[in-house]
Amino acid sequence: MHRMIPLPVSHAPLRRNFAKPGNTELVDRYREWLICQRYSRTTHEVYNRVVGKFLNFWGLKSFAGVSHLDIRQFIAESSSRDLSGEVVHRYLWALRSFFDFLCIHGVVDEVAPRLVRPRPAKRPLPRALSEKNISRLMRGAKNHRDRALLEMFYATGCRSSELLNARLEHVDFAKRTLLVRGKTGERRVLFGLPAQRALKQYLQRRTSGYLFESQYPVQKGCVSWNGQCWAGYWLDYSQGPTIPMRRCIALGPASIGRNRAWHRFKRLIPNPDRGHIRAKPHPLSRFCVAEIFREASFRAGIGRVTSHNLRHSFAAHMLDNGADIRLVQELLGHISLASTNRYASVVSTSFSRAYKTCHPRS
């Protein structure tokens, strides 16, 4: 029988020799922390951009030595590009989030950006279009997709990110509702008959995927000098979407230059991506939505219009026609009633009616 010999136990505290992370590593860990905290993609991009600029400003010095005076200097230098008051507030929000992360992990003892108090930013009143201009904007759409997009923005009052990430499986055409995910979680929004007709014209027989999918080509080809002539290169998917063929076409001698070579390539191969099917469909980008609104508003002749202007118009017209402000708050997905109450300043008909009824010299 073997006898067990006890091993000596040391009561000295365990010490782990971890190297202190550098500033770049801390910024990388902050990016991962934002993902874990489920921040939106837009917030993630803005905060990372601001923190990256602060890293370039501060250099290799320890973040523990940052004071509120350094934060002020950074914002002052960033404001030399004439940043608006709202952008300065975003810079502060991003830095407060970053230094909260550093404080939680024991890198800093105090959150220096929270000692900086900017002047309150005066937000301009939201711009709402009249019902006549809304109709003109809808007529300015150049195809079924653009018309459906404009109709859905006005019918639902959704934010751009909410509508672009909406999926076709979440549309209930019988009840004319759509499930969207926004800042306040999930909610059901409503849309009317004009939006339903526009959607069905755009979707045709499609039953799944993003509600508004991107149709941009995956590849555009490339033009380069191969030592003998300008040549265009692309992957040919015309024989099948799974087995592309590498193609090359001669465009001309060196004397024509890159720009003329590109024009010649586009004329000879107008669509290099023909036959290519996306393995994973993508939603429309914000840039594409901005272009749709720019072109439609230009055709309508009503000046610059954005997707948020239709959100403002949705709220203003609902309140103008007697909707309860609590209902509008739920449809817009606002946490605070004060955010919805700003649209009461846009409504003119009810104010005009009350003034004419109540003022003795109206």
Which neighbouring-strand residues pair with 271? none
Residue 26's CB is within 10 A of a number of other CB atoms, namely: 18
CATH code of 49's domain: 1.10.150.130
**Sheet of 222-225, strand order:** 222-225, 230-236, 245-252
For residue 124, is it within any domain?
A: no
For residue 120, is it within any domain?
A: no
pLDDT at residue 9 above 50? no
Residues 33 and 110 in one domain: yes
* Residue 38 DSSP SS3: coil
Contact (CB, 8 A) for 320 and 349: yes
Residues 228 and 308 in one domain: no
CATH code of 307's domain: 1.10.443.10
CA–CA dist 289, 291 (Å, integer): 5
Q: Pick from 13-27, 212-226, 307-321 the range whose average pLDDT is largest.
A: 307-321
Q: What is the pLDDT of residue 100?
A: 94
Backbone φ and ψ of 247, nearest 5° = -120, 150
Residue 205's CB is within 10 A of a number of other CB atoms, namely: 4
For residue 35, is it within any domain?
A: yes
Q: What is the pLDDT of residue 51?
A: 94
For residue 341, is it within any domain?
A: yes
CA–CA dist 319, 324 (Å, integer): 7
pLDDT at residue 28 above 80? yes
CA–CA dist 174, 210 (Å, integer): 19
Residues 306 and 181 in one domain: yes
Lowest mean pLDDT among 12-16, 99-103, 187-191, 278-282: 12-16
More confident residue, 358 or 326: 326
Residues 192 and 226 in one domain: no
Query: What residue type is 19 in one-letter code?
Result: A
What's the pLDDT band for 275 if we cut at 50, 70, 90? confident
Find the helix or strand (DSSP H, E) in which 65 lies: none
What's the pLDDT band for 173 if we cut at 50, 70, 90? very high
Residues 200 and 294 in one domain: yes
Contact (CB, 8 A) for 70 and 59: no
CA–CA dist 82, 74 (Å, integer): 14
Residues 179 and 310 in one domain: yes
Q: What is the pLDDT of residue 78?
A: 85
| Span 79-106, average pLDDT | 87
Token readout for 358 is 């109540």
Residues in the chain: 362
| Span 107-121, average pLDDT | 87
Tens-place pLDDT, residues 119-129? 876 777 778 89
Buried b (16+ CB within 10 A) or exposed e, 78-92: beeeeeeeeebebbb
Residues 83 and 41 in one domain: yes
What's the pLDDT band for 149 if we cut at 50, 70, 90? very high
* Residue 250 DSSP SS3: strand
Buried b (16+ CB within 10 A) or exposed e, 46-59: bbbebbebbbeeee
Q: Which of 321, 320, 319, 294 is nearest to 309 (CA)?
A: 294
For residue 273, is it within any domain?
A: no
pLDDT at residue 17 above 50? no
DSSP-assigned states of every residue in 276-291: ---SS--BPPHHHHHH
For residue 346, is it within any domain?
A: yes
For residue 6, is it within any domain?
A: no
**Sheet of 185-190, strand order:** 171-172, 177-182, 185-190
pLDDT at residue 27 above 90? yes
Token readout for 53 is 């600029």
Tens-place pLDDT, residues 178-205? 999 887 788 999 999 999 999 999 998 8
Q: Pick from 17-31, 80-94, 269-283, 299-313 the range whose average pLDDT is largest.
A: 299-313
Residues 178 and 312 in one domain: yes
Range of the domain at 226: 222-268
Q: What is the pLDDT of residue 219?
A: 75
pLDDT at residue 19 above 70? no
Residues 350 and 206 in one domain: yes
pLDDT at residue 7 above 50? no
Number of domains in the chain: 3
Residues 257 and 295 in one domain: no
What does R_g of the chain's alpha carbons equal in angstroms? Answer: 28
What's the pLDDT band for 333 if we cut at 50, 70, 90? confident
* Residue 178 DSSP SS3: strand
Q: What is the pLDDT of residue 349?
A: 57
* Residue 196 DSSP SS3: helix
Token readout for 342 is 């700003």
Q: What is the pLDDT of residue 202?
A: 93
Residues 151 and 188 in one domain: yes
What's the pLDDT band for 11 if we cut at 50, 70, 90? very low
For residue 15, is it within any domain?
A: no
Residues 321 and 248 in one domain: no
